[in-house]
Structures are given as C-alpha cells and as structure tokens.
Structure 1
C-alpha cells in the first residue's frame, strides 16, 4: 500500500507526526476495517441479534455499529434489501454520534450524498422531527434519495442545492447541522487506493475555499443555541484545525465543545497552527477540543471532528456569511422556480390533488393499510408524497424529494411506490406474505420473478379472516422474516412481482 502513497503526502505526514510517523506508516500495511450500522427505524438491536447471520463485533463509538468480516458480504443478503442495516466505514459513524440528535429535532445534512450519515440521523429521529438531506451534486443526490428510501425514512426531504440557496428558505431554522465537508481525502487512502493516486489533483487550497463557504452558510442556517458538527476524512490541518480556528474568529457566538474522553479520540492539534491573520490565538487554542481518529491508534480510517455550539444569542448574521465567495449574493440573483435536470421533480411542480385523486389515494389506504399515514398530502406531476410537518415553502429550491414518496396517480387508480413499502411495518399492511431468508423464494422475489403462493400463506390483518373468495386479491406486502421488501399482487395462487427493475438483485 505504501508504494502508491504520494511522496509529497509522505513528506508532509513525517513532518507533522515526527516520532509517531513509523506507527502511522505501519497502519497502511494492515487490512482496512469493514462496518455496518443497524437501522433501528426498522429493527431493534435485540431483535437484530436474533436474526444476525454475520460475524460481528461492536464499534466502540457507535451503539448501532459493528465491524464485520469481509467474507460476510452483507450486501449480498436479503436483509440488505430490506434496509435492516447500512454498510458504512466505521469512522464515518462518529459525526452523527457527536451531533446529539434526539427525536423531534430539525436536522440538516448539508453535504449528504450518498446518504450514510443521513440514514444514521433518521435512525436517531425515530420518525419524529425533520431531516433535510442536501447535496449539490446532481448525480450523487440520486444515490442519496435511494438510500433514504431503502432505509424506510418517512420524515425527510431531499434537496439538490448550494448552501447559499438554502438560506433563503431556512434562515436560523435547524437545531442540528452536519457538515461532512468535501476534502482532500487523505484519511481514505487505505480504503481506496485510487484516492491516493488522485490526491495531487484534489488541491487542499480548493477544498479550503469550499469548506469556508459551507461553514459560513451553515451558521446562517442554524437556530440560536444549535449545534454544528464539522467533519472531514483528511489529515490536513489547513482543512481541519485551521478551518475551525478561522470560523471561530469570524463567529464569536460559537465555541468548540469538548468531546467526551470515553470516545477515545485523539485531540485536535492546535500546535500545528502557525500564526495567521485568519484567526486569533484564542480561536486557535480552542481547536485542541476537537478530535481525530488516527488509523494507527483506532480501528478506523483517518477523520477529524469539531463540535461547534452556538451561544443562543440572536444577533445578525456575520457579514462573512455573505462574503464567502459571494455565494449568497449570487443565489439571491438566481431566477426562481428553475427546473432540475434528469427528470427530477422540484417544488415549482407542486399542484393540489383533485377531489377524485384524493379519493383514489384514500381508497388505496383504506383497502391496503391498517392505519392512516401522517403528513401533508402533496402532488408533483403524477407523483404523490407525504410531507412531514414544519417544512417551509420550497418553491425557490431544486427539490428531489419533498417528502415520503408514496405512489403514482394513474388513470382511475393509485399505484403504491416501492419507498412506501419499505417505510411500512409488516403489521401495517392488510395483506402480506412472509418469505424466509433461508429459502430461495426471497432471492427469486428480489430478482423480479413471479412466485407461486397459496392463499394459506397470505397473512391478513383482518380479524376474523373473511370467508368469501377474493379477500387475498390486490396489493400484498412482501416481507422477509417479517421485514418489508416490496409489493406484489396476488391472484389465483400467483404473486405478480412489483419489485422495481432498478432495485433488483444482481
């Protein structure tokens, strides 16, 4: 591994680490660590331990996180397609643990794609409050939306915007903000050798400009008394301690909160900061309270974390918020209601459901589900969503998902969506069929095949089960070991597969 590391990177790390450098280099000859995080929105840790087919050991800093063995291949198990866990690098689970999310919070994941940390935030919210998951990369935001849907998240919106544009709709709005900042990626070299090969193209100076802009606008999006967690996967002090010291100098209403010693993090390196006009000695001293994961000290890849807490005062936003590259001024000058590419819907397309359309949705709910679903019913084109409460107007933003996508209006009928199935519990469907994970039918369903299912295997929430013929007809929630996978349509002993082509087992 060390043979692919850039010489300039090695020289820098040797200068920074001194006596620790040999141990740091030895870590690159060790195998990387693999992690998964249980999705407690769908299954409790106690229940998962009964079903768990893998060899797992706990990740110390993440209660729902576990190391797994590479040969386990959890991405090739039906439980992955049921959204019971998310495969995630162990160190990447730390930022959300530091964010301190509780049910009911309004949380922004500002640089969210591909969605691992967003799904972790959603697990902490437990269906209450609001998650706004945003990323400015058009292609990556598609993976973000899909991962939230796979996790069964019902209280999220997905946006595709620059941070400056969000300030118009969400000034001083969020209780918690996560910034998983774009960075030079030095901490991921062991995980991905290609990142090491591309390192010199990812200029630290360019990353610093983006990070400065993101932090400045995050401050304008945070409610008084709120919390920002800033994290990177790089060792560079310019992108870490230097960036935080500079932010604190321009935002005296913030401080760096001390990270609990029980998490085992190495401290921030205030001693690596040379005197600079960008920050004061006082703000530079505060960064010692930040934390780092070093690959030669902990079982994870290199990361930096700073917990920024707002004092609670309600002063005017610092002028630096607007001066950070002029991004806020540019956002205000942009035309409103612009269209997103790739067929994605945005808020400018919102229309009211007609009375007939609302009745179609209501009829489906009544015949297929055991309880009404919470949220504001909305229509974007032919797609129907349930939006969580407390969302402001989104008509100036590029919106990928304005809420929980529950289905599509077709001529004289409503067709449920795959995300609706994944966001339900098994007992919330009037009709369901449960496939064992140990039998081939579960894989066959995930491959899109039609299944032969006798009427006796269709479970119903109706009590008592109707005697008349035909009670099993219609949409049926297909589950694996009691956890929803998707929809099927049962008729005359055959289950027509409704699993979407883009999600199928390969």
Structure 2
C-alpha cells in the first residue's frame, strides 16, 4: 500500500500480536479481497450462481456470500442494477450472520449507512417483520435509502436520528439490534488509505467514548431476552473488548454469547475471549471485531411499547402477534378526522387533511386495482404528495426524522397516481398486470438501464387476462424486476430514473 502506517499503530500491533506480527504486516502487500452477497429477496443462491458470469468462491461465514476474482467488476453488470447482489467486503458480512435474524423479528440497525448490513438483515426477514435502519449523518442516509430501494426492501424504515431518541421512542421494542459502530477503522487500512491518513494515537479513545453511548441507547431499545451484536472494523482493544467490558459492568442483565475461537473467527482478548476477531493474516478479508450480547430475559420496567393501538405492526410486518391494524384501518382513522399521527390536522378537526389523504389513497388504489395483484399490505403514509406503505403506523414515528417512513409507492399529481421506482424494484413479475423481461446477454437490458426508448412488439409482453396492453409495464432483467416502462403501440417509453442510470 502507498500510505505509510503510523509508527504508534505499528508498535501497538506488535504488542498485540507478538510473533504473529510479521504475518499480519505482510498482508499489506496483498490485494484486498472483493465479494458479493446474494440478495435472496429477489433470487436464490443457486439461481444466481447459475446465471452469474462471475467466478464465485463461497465465503465460509456467510452462506449467501462469495469472493469475486481479482479484477472482476460486478458493479458493471445488469444484475447489479437489478439488485440481485450487493457488493460487500467479505469480513463485513459476518456480524449479521451472528445476529440470528428470522422472519417476523423487529430489528434495528443503529449505524446503518451505506446499507450493506441492512440489506443483509432485510433478506433474512424475507418481508415478514420490521427493519429500522438509522444513521446519524444525514448525507449518508441518502445512500442507505437508495440501497434499500434497489434491493427491493418492503418492510424497512430509514431514520436520521440520535440513538437515544430512538431508544426513547421504542423502549424495549426490538428483538435484535445491530451496532456496526463508528470506529477508528484500523481494520480497513489495507483497503482505504484515507483512514490511515486520518488516524492519530488519540483516535481510538475518541471513538470508544462514542461507542459506549450508542451501546447504552441500544440496551434501552432491546426487548427482554433480545440479542445485540456489536461490531467494529478496527483492532484497538479499547474500542472492542474495552467497550464491551464497560457495557457489561453497567448492564448486569447482559452477557456475552461465546462465538470466538471457532472456524474463521479468532477469540477476543482476555476475559472476553468469547467475542470474535477476524484477522487479515488468518482469513481472506479485512479486520473485524464482533460481540454477541444477550439480555437475560428479566422484565425491563416500562420497556414494552403498547402494541394494541397506534404502534401495532401491520399483518405483513408482524404476523406472530395477534390481529394487527391493517392499512384500511389507518384510512378509517383519516376518514374519522384524525390526521397525521392520529391527531387533528387543523382547525377543521382534521377533515381537510383527512380528505386530502383519502383522495391520494383513492388515486393509488384505483391505479393498484388495475396494475397490482394482490395489493400490498401495510400502513399508508402520505408526506406531501408522496405515498409510502409502512410497516408501522405514522403515529409510531412522530417526532423522529424519517428519511423513508416505509416502502415508497409513488406520487399523486392532479389526482393521478404515478408509481415510483422503488415500488417496481420490490415487485415480482407475477404481481404486475404487465411485465417484460429484457435479456442481459444482447444489450437490450443495458439500453434500458441507460434510459433509452425500446421497440417492443406486443407478443413479448406478459399480460394478465383482462388487462389492457397499454400502460405501465414492470421491466425485468432476465426475469428480475428493475423498473417501470410505459408501453403503447410497440414502443416502450423508459421510466428508469435519471439518477440511477447506467454510466
């Protein structure tokens, strides 16, 4: 690598690694490993391996992860733009595998941008449950939201909040919480030379203070008996074992679930050997630390969010618990004069707001009745003229900065519904009245991704019985959804967003 490693860092690594230090130092002469993770919201691992032109080698700690060959450019294939895989550093795939997410879980990804781990969590949820992805930095939430949209996540919410505010809004609410904590980034020195240049001897201590505050907030938001995974991409003990030791001393109801010292994972240091480390001289990946923490299941006073009223999850989001409020119930609240957050929206008792919301929902449902089957379930949330379908009622997000309150459906203009790109990317071909599959092999998929108009004869369209030929078409790449087009008289008008296009 071109950047010179700081002398203080070198000396400390010699002290940590002893006679292994030279093996560690030699890794800086090697090329970092690349990887992709299959998006099982859209495609199975077996199907992707059969389709992909990339040479793929399994990653031991992630059943959906694969190393890519040196020089491979997975971002320059139409399958990337169809959201069939996420390009991710191999070691970064490990923390979510330790979280143990299953469909139906309520999951919080507290430091989520740019979204690699959130998309991995979403794939494990398979559309059943709730994912709240948060990042404190507003600029970074843009990439986070876009990645969740590209990968077809329907049950996700993106927040731009301080962790303590989320904990106050959702005390004892989440089954699983991931903290991929901000850190000094020492484990990424080989891959990112800017991190080397920014590092100073005081950097680890600065981040350790921040990490402990985030852990405390996560403890408040975790349900009794829940699981919390803490990870960093650094080597410093004060940010890793040190942060966990401080947390455990202050939270006696938590304990470490041992994961270290097995398979690809090396044990943590000292009394926290049950935590795990990935060392670049021992695995094909960058440096990582992980700790799995579990609450002992004792009651947490005042921790349960009321799930019988406005924060009840929708049927699609939380099938495990009771009868939940449907999107239609949310509409009835609006009709009864309850505006955003279940409160009156103005001097007219919310009637004007309710009327506007009902008109927007009516426009969407008219469009969905012709275009979608079945109509997706969830809680409608209207921000201006933009409509979302959320796994939570809007009242549950009151006071929080929501970048994306749910699955973005589209926009209502002059009484007409215009479907959004994220609606298309999360649909399956059989859910749309009209669909079209473009080939990745002959260049037509790339033409679509560039925004070009295509000549498409009507016999190539897949149209459900009773549906007209003319109208919105779900455009797919080799059978996997990528965006919208509008077909009429043999021509497909391209609706692929300018900001997403192939360059």
Above 0.5 in TM-score?
yes
How far did residue 22 of structure 1 move?
0.7
**What SS does the aligned partner of 2:368 have?**
helix
Distance 2:192 2:137 in 1: 21
Deviation string, structure 1 residues 145-184 (Cα, Å, up to 9, x no partner): 0000001000011000000111221001000000000000
CA-based RMSD: 2.0
Q: 2:295 is matched with which residue?
A: 310
Distance 1:356 1:161 in 2: 31
1:266 to 1:354, Cα distance in 2 relative to 1, 3 A: closer
Kept in 2: contact 1:169–1:392 (CA 8 A): no
Distance 1:33 1:367 in 2: 47
Q: 1:338 is matched with which residue?
A: none
Distance 1:348 1:395 in 2: 10
1:263 to 1:460, Cα distance in 2 relative to 1, 3 A: farther
Q: 1:107 is matched with which residue?
A: 107
1:454 to 1:115, Cα distance in 2 relative to 1, 3 A: same
Q: 1:456 is matched with which residue?
A: 459
Q: 2:309 is matched with which residue?
A: none
**What SS does the aligned partner of 2:231 have?**
strand
Distance 2:182 2:12 in 1: 20
Q: 2:45 is matched with which residue?
A: 45
Kept in 2: contact 1:347–1:399 (CA 8 A): no
Kindly report which structure 2 residues correspond to 1:46-445, keeping only aligned pairs within 5 A, or say none. 46-200=46-200, 203-259=203-259, 262-270=262-270, 285=271, 287-316=272-301, 352=354, 353-389=356-392, 393-445=396-448
Distance 1:398 1:85 in 2: 29
**What SS does the aligned partner of 1:63 have?**
strand
Match of 1:490 among 483, 487, 492: 487
How far did residue 428 of structure 1 move?
0.9
Q: 1:446 is matched with which residue?
A: 449
TM-score between the two structures when normalised by the length of structure 2 = 0.88
Distance 1:392 1:243 in 2: 35
Distance 1:250 1:215 in 2: 11
Distance 2:163 2:170 in 1: 10
Distance 2:394 2:233 in 1: 31
Kept in 1: contact 2:3–2:197 (CA 8 A): no
**What SS does the aligned partner of 2:273 have?**
helix
**What SS does the aligned partner of 2:92 have?**
helix
Kept in 1: contact 2:34–2:68 (CA 8 A): yes
How far did residue 386 of structure 1 move?
0.6
1:114 to 1:99, Cα distance in 2 relative to 1, 3 A: same
Deviation string, structure 1 residues 362-415 (Cα, Å, up to 9, x no partner): 111111112111111121111101111577611111001111001100112100
TM-score between the two structures when normalised by the length of structure 1 = 0.87
More displaced 10-residue stretch of structure 1: 167-176 or 108-117: 167-176
Q: 2:311 is matched with which residue?
A: none
Kept in 2: contact 1:293–1:302 (CA 8 A): yes
Deviation string, structure 1 residues 174-230 (Cα, Å, up to 9, x no partner): 000000000000000111112112112871121011101000110000000001000
Deviation string, structure 1 residues 15-59 (Cα, Å, up to 9, x no partner): 221111111101111111001000001001121122111000000
**What SS does the aligned partner of 2:22 have?**
helix
Kept in 1: contact 2:260–2:277 (CA 8 A): no
**What SS does the aligned partner of 2:283 have?**
coil
Distance 1:181 1:202 in 2: 17
1:317 to 1:375, Cα distance in 2 relative to 1, 3 A: closer
Distance 2:455 2:201 in 1: 55
Gaps of 5+ in 1: 271-284, 319-345
**What SS does the aligned partner of 1:143 have?**
helix
Kept in 1: contact 2:3–2:193 (CA 8 A): no
Distance 2:295 2:302 in 1: 12
**What SS does the aligned partner of 1:139 have?**
helix
How far did residue 307 of structure 1 move?
0.3
How far did residue 5 of structure 1 move?
1.0
**What SS does the aligned partner of 1:360 have?**
helix
Gaps of 5+ in 2: 304-339, 346-352
